[in-house]
Amino acid sequence: MKKLKTAQKILKTRGMNGLAMTLRLKLDRSFRPDETKIVYELINDRSHSGFMIDVGAHHGSSLAPFAELGWQVIAFEPDSSNRAILESSFSTYDNVIIDPRACSDQAQPEATLFVSPESSGVSGLSAFLESHRASEKISVTTLADALGAYGYLAKPVDFLKIDTEGFDLMVLKGFLWAQSPHPGVIVCEFEDAKTRPLGYSFHQLADFLVNKAYWLIISEWYPVKAYGGLHRWRRFTTYPCDLVDPQGWGNIIAVKDQEAYHQLCQLCQLDRLHIK
């Protein structure tokens, strides 16, 4: 009876999607959350038409629901093969800009993009896998430069999603924090195996966001066994924290607003979920 009342309360306050999320978190140990979909659940009901930046857009699965809502979206995807798929899906959307450049903390007129046959999702500016090979020459910009060129430096960013295979901190450093409104929600990836050779760690990435006055939830996954296959999820937790396994990877969900943070904690069931 108690469980039924709890389910009815969740259904009333958060709807079917919230109830489904709760059941998956509590019952399905093979559950693999999509952090960008959690953000969608958090912010999709806003009355205004939002603004999303997707750095490392891949095939567009993260931006798709926001584009369908009519949000303005800028999608950066330097891999021409991935971008062709992205363009086939979104080139007719007036509200989606597809930019062929990579992003970092410094602009470069020419850089090498590395790709791997293991997965279309590991293309990037560094060759962290033995299977990586140089693929094509690309341009690199900063978010500050790109937003300035598009005339969006003063436009509030509702959602900044970053997945650049190791360069997420550099992308953040390339944002014009001193002059532009800070993004409302940020999702970025961590994996020390990729980033320590580039000069930073999970904690340095997380602390950068904390120092910008963000509240963080960590979505930790077990160490990658093979790129291109299914990965195993471990837990949600709040920051500051240490990883259960230093070889693990995952995503940081950072929110600027404390009330949004509390809502995010409810979505992630952090008050009752403990998976080790």
| Position 274 in a domain | no
Q: Please, are residues 167 and 78 in contact by the beta-carbon 8 Å criterion?
A: no
User: Measuring CA to CA, how many Å separate 148 from each of 52, 144, 189, 208, 227?
Assistant: 15, 6, 25, 23, 35
State pTM to two decimals.
0.88
Alpha helices for the chain (secondary structure H): 2-27, 35-43, 64-68, 80-90, 143-150, 168-173, 192-195, 202-211, 258-267
CA distance 115 to 129: 9
| Position 240 in a domain | yes
Could you tell me if 12 and 38 lie in one domain? Answer: no
Residue 116 belongs to a domain with what CATH number? 3.40.50.150
Could you tell me if 222 and 255 lie in one domain? Answer: yes
The pLDDT value recorded for residue 275 is: 38
The pLDDT value recorded for residue 11 is: 67
Could you tell me if 154 and 103 lie in one domain? Answer: yes
> Does pLDDT of 273 surpass 50?
no
Could you tell me if 118 and 14 lie in one domain? Answer: no
| Position 70 in a domain | yes
The pLDDT value recorded for residue 24 is: 56
182-216 pLDDT, tens per residue? 999 999 999 999 999 999 999 999 999 999 999 99
| Position 273 in a domain | no
Could you tell me if 96 and 109 lie in one domain? Answer: yes
| Position 16 in a domain | yes
For residue 54, the surrounding DSSP H or E stretch is: strand 51-55
Percent of the chain at pLDDT > 70 equals 87
The pLDDT value recorded for residue 45 is: 73
37-91 pLDDT, tens per residue? 999 999 987 657 899 999 999 999 999 999 999 999 999 999 999 999 999 999 9
| Position 10 in a domain | yes
Could you tell me if 90 and 24 lie in one domain? Answer: no
Could you tell me if 6 and 66 lie in one domain? Answer: no
Could you tell me if 14 and 51 lie in one domain? Answer: no
Could you tell me if 7 and 90 lie in one domain? Answer: no
The pLDDT value recorded for residue 48 is: 74
Region of 213 on the Ramachandran plot (φ > 0 left; ψ -120 to 50 alpha; else beta): left
Domain count, the chain: 2
Could you tell me if 5 and 65 lie in one domain? Answer: no
The pLDDT value recorded for residue 52 is: 98
Could you tell me if 77 and 11 lie in one domain? Answer: no
| Position 192 in a domain | yes
Could you tell me if 5 and 134 lie in one domain? Answer: no
For residue 2, the enclosing domain spans 1-31
| Position 251 in a domain | yes
Q: How confident is the model at residue 9 (pLDDT cuts 50, 70, 90)?
A: low
The pLDDT value recorded for residue 7 is: 63
